[in-house]
A and B are shown apart, each in its own frame.
Chain A
């Protein structure tokens, strides 16, 4: 047999030839009973069928938005795209106003040649995507179709994960990126070929798609899937799936572990058998030692091993993974000195995975051991999607060293004994409940809501358990009576909650109080530092509170 091309769809086809009857995908629609099971042979047949339909529609080489619910149809359609040389753009399912809005902004940026969804959602999608056809996925199922040779450097998918709603950014992942990162995850996590994974992570995000769906299929294992909402509704469903299918690998951002500990009582926890769970990876947002320690405390009686914890570091721009701790070693904690701000304990994210190169750079681009994490390697995206031209524009802040291109991640870290510790973010992205929000979007929300707000700074504050959203709003005090601050902040908080789904704590400060650059731009990081130092006499991050700012006028 010839070595398969650098194309994960071809790779999975090979797995289907070797082990046609093995389960590839198991789907639990409500997180409990099995509603769908696809063998490799069935997955292969469906992917081929979708590929034929995509080819028939003339979509090869074009971007196609996939607005499907989680499950086997999504996975088959995604693989069908890769097989047919279609650039897949996975987006959330349009079952809420917020998801629909998100799709609208992605469509405006990606300028796809088509959007594919299920029949019921088509009218809604047609209303927002007027410039291109919206196709029912069942109409794509076709026969025949060729298996084109697709260059490894061709875009395979566009990950819209961290772009702001004002200016979404589509990160282009090539076929070569995908394959390189699959190999990195395999080696970094030391996974067996018959791996069984259990996941609830969103199928349209890097960690869910690349890590928990494609990796088991790449290896020839089985991916057990449930929708994110099924997990959030009853987190025990995820752990029961891990037990029932004897999942070897399952992971989440810290938020997922925290939710399990919060919602699953000790009695119910003790009845589980989690002894087969060997890789409990944790990434995508800061890895919290206290959250994982509480999780272990609750679930060790169920046979969970703390050594299964596998903190890792990655981002959509590096396909997914970049660094991972040594599998089977559990958490490694270190006190890290923060520049002039004392020290704090952090969790090691391990070493760069094989093929991934890390550099730490200061603001002036000089090498340092405490600075911005920069990544090079075959898993690094070539840049952003240019919808208009259908091409790729390189990341503006990348730099070349010894002929290798390095991506600036916007995360701040340090290396101790060769291991990476991620200590902060300089990019203005907030991760709340595992979802990314742009600080600018939240600030615009406050400014739009109330013309008397002159400026705003949004940032996340760690309350020890999770990150809470804080928004500082500058208000001209002459405009408003002293006693009205609380109500004012409360109204802004409600508006932000309506738009973003996250309720912030809004603090009103006086005009000119927020730190600015020389050009007048608000400095969020400096505002956060000032807030935490108690400069405004406030550091309360109680949920939903709109705290009045004492007037000293």
Chain B
């Protein structure tokens, strides 16, 4: 397993944006990583599924609960990739 703070936040952001746009059929160009997940329709089940795919993709442990605490791509990546205190 990798350490989340070794992940480049920009890469993680881009990956999440692509994943969500792919799953929900959204226009990537019009998509903002600052929006809350639920405002563009990433419902709670899909968010938890994304946490599973992310674990495989980045070889990290993702607590799906994180998506409820930090409900946007920007907030999530900032917290997730921050060095552990």
Which positions in A face B, CB cutoff 8 Å?
Answer: 30, 95-98, 229, 232-235, 259, 263, 433, 493-494, 497-498, 501-503, 542-544
Cα distance A234–B43 when bound, in Å?
17
Interface: B68 (CB within 8 A): yes
Q: Is the CB of A233 within 8 A of B48?
A: yes
Using A96-B68, A97-B68 as known contacts, say yes or no to A503 and B52 having CB atoms under 8 A apart: no
How close is A70's CB to chain B, nearest CB, in angstroms? 13
Question: What are 18 sample pairs from A and B whose C-beta atoms fall under 8 A apart?
Answer: A96-B68, A97-B68, A229-B48, A232-B48, A232-B52, A232-B64, A233-B48, A233-B51, A233-B64, A494-B39, A494-B40, A494-B41, A497-B38, A498-B38, A498-B39, A543-B24, A543-B41, A544-B41
Cα distance A232–B48 when bound, in Å?
6
Q: Which residues of A contact B51 (CB under 8 A)?
A: 233
Which of B25, B41, B43, B65 makes the CB contact (< 8 A) with A229? B65
Using A95-B68, A232-B45 as known contacts, say yes or no to A263 and B52 having CB atoms under 8 A apart: yes
Not counting A95-B68, A501-B44, A543-B25, a sample of 10 additional A-B residue pairs whose C-beta atoms are within 8 angstroms of each other reads: A30-B61, A96-B65, A232-B48, A233-B64, A235-B52, A494-B38, A497-B38, A497-B43, A501-B45, A502-B43
Which chain B residues (33-60) contact chain A, with CB distance < 8 Å?
A: 36, 38-41, 43-45, 48-49, 51-52, 55
Cα distance A497–B24 when bound, in Å?
13
Cα distance A539–B61 when bound, in Å?
41
Using A96-B68, A498-B38 as known contacts, say yes or no to A233 and B55 having CB atoms under 8 A apart: yes
Q: Which residues of B contact A233 (CB under 8 A)?
A: 48-49, 51-52, 55, 62, 64
Among A95, A232, A494, the one with the most B-chain Cβ atoms within 10 Å of its Cβ is A232
Q: Which residues of B contact A433 (CB under 8 A)?
A: 43, 45
Cα distance A544–B21 when bound, in Å?
12
Cα distance A349–B45 when bound, in Å?
27
How close is A450's CB to chain B, nearest CB, in angstroms? 16
Which of A263, A501, A542, A544 makes the CB contact (< 8 A) with B49? A263
Cα distance A263–B23 when bound, in Å?
13
A-B contact count (CB 8 A): 58
How close is B72's CB to chain A, nearest CB, in angstroms? 13
Q: Which residues of B contact A503 (CB under 8 A)?
A: 41, 43
Q: Which residues of B contact A497 (CB under 8 A)?
A: 38-39, 41, 43
Q: Which residues of B contact A95 (CB under 8 A)?
A: 65, 68
How close is B75's CB to chain A, nearest CB, in angstroms? 15
How close is B83's CB to chain A, nearest CB, in angstroms? 23
Q: Which residues of A contact B49 (CB under 8 A)?
A: 232-233, 259, 263
Q: Which residues of B contact A96 (CB under 8 A)?
A: 44, 65, 68
Among A233, A498, A502, A544, the one with the most B-chain Cβ atoms within 10 Å of its Cβ is A233
Cα distance A503–B41 when bound, in Å?
5
Cα distance A425–B25 when bound, in Å?
31
Cα distance A497–B71 when bound, in Å?
13
Q: Which residues of A contact B44 (CB under 8 A)?
A: 96, 98, 501
Q: Which residues of A contact B62 (CB under 8 A)?
A: 233
Q: Which residues of A contact B38 (CB under 8 A)?
A: 494, 497-498, 501
The closest CB in chain B to the CB of A255 belongs to B45
Cα distance A235–B24 when bound, in Å?
20
Q: Which residues of B contact A30 (CB under 8 A)?
A: 61
How close is B71's CB to chain A, nearest CB, in angstroms? 10
How close is B19's CB to chain A, nearest CB, in angstroms? 13
Using A95-B65, A498-B38, A543-B24 as known contacts, say yes or no to A234 and B52 having CB atoms under 8 A apart: yes
Q: Which residues of B contact A97 (CB under 8 A)?
A: 68
How close is B79's CB to chain A, nearest CB, in angstroms? 16
The closest CB in chain B to the CB of A495 belongs to B39
The closest CB in chain A to the CB of B39 belongs to A494
The closest CB in chain B to the CB of A494 belongs to B39
The closest CB in chain B to the CB of A469 belongs to B43
The closest CB in chain A to the CB of B48 belongs to A232
Cα distance A259–B68 when bound, in Å?
21
Q: Is the CB of A229 within 8 A of B64?
A: yes
Q: Which residues of A contact B43 (CB under 8 A)?
A: 433, 497, 501-503
